[in-house]
Amino acid sequence: MRRLIIVVSFLIQAYPAIDCLLNVDLLIYGLRPAVMLESIPLSGPGFDVGIEEINRDYSDVLRMKHTYISDENHDLSECDDTSAHFDKISNYYYGSLQNHSEVLLILMHLGCTETRVFAQLSREWNILAVSGGLTYSTLRDMNFYPSTLATGPVQLQLYSVMFEKICGTFEWTNVGFAYDTSGVLPWPGMMHDIFTSNGAVRSGRILLQMFAIAPKPDLPDLLNRISYVSRVIFMSGTPILIRKLMIAAWKQNMTSSEYSVGGPVTWYQNDTDDEIAFRAYGSLMQMITCYDHDVKTNILLKHQFRQIAEDLYGVKYANGQGPSEFTTSSYVVVKMLAQVLNRTIHANIDVFDGRMLAAQFLNKSFSAGSMGEIFIDDSGERQTKICLSVFGNWMGAHFPQRAMFLDHTQPNLQNASEITIQWNTPDKKPPADTPLCGYLGDEVRCRTNSLGTTVTVIVVAAATVSFCCLTAIFWCMRTHRLTHDIWWRLQDEQLCASTVPIPSVHSHFTDSSFKELDDLEQC
């Protein structure tokens, strides 16, 4: 028995290098130049920090590394390029990766948009694929793309839902939408597509009037044209353009209670228009994705992001600027992956089955530390909160504060705790969307033509006099009829009382009886 024990002990000590850890390779495909927020140099620090943390926290379960798929010659320099070079992923999959059974490969796409090619590769290879860029909700059919998730910080479809909720809450059915066509940012074009494809707009429940803003716009003329359509304006453009539009609206007295607008915000430019912009932004609302981060921990985390961005990617942020939510989202993705892999391994689920692995994310919330809770819905899409913010003077600073929000837990807009919307209207209610001067500008209160005003007064006066005359005539005719048309009524002197009994048919008449009847007839 002792000899057997010694042999077994020898065998155990002879193979101490057996690796039971799950090796994970996060294959990240995206733009190499730092031209977009989703690009590798700007999103990469989130992966670096997240992977370092999970390799420490889950050291007995998994070991993760990440590989960037890009091009040193900068073939991937624009959003459209990411859709044209998916062969780089295929080359790595079939060439560089030798043994697929020993390394769990997870695809990560940092492109500007979701593409079906990316999802089709995931389905063909049956490996988990995660889209970390803008989410269009075009790949959320789990029957066609069962192994694809979207964890990006911005869901475009959420803006369409929020637009409809805002209009429904404030009873707006006729609104204007002004969008930048200069091409400086892709966002206005995306918002144009999102709003025009909204179900309420397509069905006619919301009348959306479109106004394209030219590269060199005549803003007063644009505002005048909008004023003939609606007093509610949704705007999408660069912060500088929105500021110019707000200043022009202030000068035309369009930032009072008669108008309500929405768009990005940057009122301070350290120029002579700062004071005007400050006042004009009082009627501006901001519709924007918002997050519930722990402030103190978030500051420390973003300090790490900045340091790694400068050391590893050559990106140095200016003072007062920090990593975007795409950097934070990269960090969150890694934390979620670790939680799911740990849970899946202990549940004896095959992690190499992409469809099974993707299913472990659905309808679940995940803790991302200082980033708060992250929820993935039943279609594999991250659900973030979107807020409606208003400007308020808080401790001397003029910046947007949350007034209402929409998230996946409630079907309607909810009031936020930061601030309450104070409508600058006589009844303290949201302004009506109907133009003050009517759709054609022909309301009486807006007319300046004295001749037209005089004609209107004369017509109204004549109508009033005519009504009074007709009423008097009717009253006289009614009185005359009641007085004279009573021929059937007997006066008192025409009536005569008689005590003579009327004989029955069985009575016997006498001469005196007939005489009394004659007297009655005379009466």
Residue 104 included in any domain: yes
pLDDT at residue number 334: 94
Distant-in-sequence contacts of 275-280, Cβ < 8 A, 24+ apart:
276/247, 276/250, 276/251, 277/243, 277/246, 277/247, 277/250, 278/398, 279/250, 279/255, 280/246, 280/247, 280/249, 280/250, 280/255
pLDDT at residue number 77: 62
Same domain, 272 and 304: no
Same domain, 25 and 88: yes
Cα gap 40→309, rounded to integer Å: 10
Residue 508 included in any domain: no
Residue type, 77: S
pLDDT at residue number 509: 45
Same domain, 277 and 331: no
CA-nearest of 160, 166, 157, 158 to 413 is: 166
Other residues' Cβ atoms within 10 Å of the Cβ of residue 259: 21
SS3 at position 519: helix
Same domain, 391 and 274: yes
Please identify, among 415, 436, 463, the residue that sits at the C-terminal boundary of a domain.
415
Same domain, 371 and 391: no
Same domain, 218 and 145: no
Mind listing the pLDDT tens digit for each residue in 228-242?
888 888 988 888 888
Other residues' Cβ atoms within 10 Å of the Cβ of residue 155: 20
Cα gap 261→285, rounded to integer Å: 6
Give residue 54's domain range: 20-153+294-383
pLDDT in 10s for each residue of the chain, 523 residues: 444 443 433 333 333 333 578 999 999 988 877 777 888 889 999 999 999 999 999 999 999 999 998 766 555 566 666 667 788 888 888 876 666 668 899 999 887 767 788 888 899 999 999 988 877 766 667 788 899 998 888 888 888 999 999 999 999 999 999 999 988 888 888 889 989 999 999 999 999 999 999 988 899 999 888 888 888 889 888 888 888 888 888 888 877 644 455 555 666 667 778 888 888 887 788 888 888 777 777 788 888 999 999 999 999 988 767 788 889 899 999 999 999 999 999 999 999 999 999 999 999 998 877 777 889 988 898 888 899 988 765 444 556 788 899 988 888 999 987 778 888 778 888 888 876 666 666 666 666 554 444 444 444 445 555 555 555 555 555 555 555 555 445 555 555 544 445 444 444 444 554 444 444 444 4
Cα gap 409→455, rounded to integer Å: 58
pLDDT at residue number 484: 52
Tell me which DSSP letter residue 135 carries.
B
Q: What is the largest CA-CA distance in the chain?
A: 167
Please identify, among 372, 399, 415, the residue that sits at the C-terminal boundary of a domain.
415
Same domain, 48 and 141: yes
pLDDT at residue number 275: 81
Residue 185 included in any domain: yes
pLDDT at residue number 270: 72
Residue 122 included in any domain: yes
Residue 175 included in any domain: yes
> Count of domains in the chain?
2
Cα gap 257→253, rounded to integer Å: 10
pLDDT at residue number 409: 85
SS3 of 282-333: HHEEEEEEECCCCHHHHHHHHHHHHHHHHHHHCCCCCCCCCCCHHHHHHHHH
Same domain, 163 and 248: yes
Same domain, 221 and 164: yes
Residue 216 included in any domain: yes
Same domain, 396 and 271: yes
pLDDT at residue number 517: 43
**CATH number of residue 395's parent domain:** 3.40.50.2300
Same domain, 201 and 88: no
Residue 500 included in any domain: no
Partners of 288 in beta bridges? 387
pLDDT at residue number 495: 53
Q: Which DSSP string do the residues of 175-199 spell out, in sequence order? A: EEEEEE-SSS-SHHHHHHHHHHT-H
pLDDT at residue number 142: 79
Same domain, 177 and 253: yes
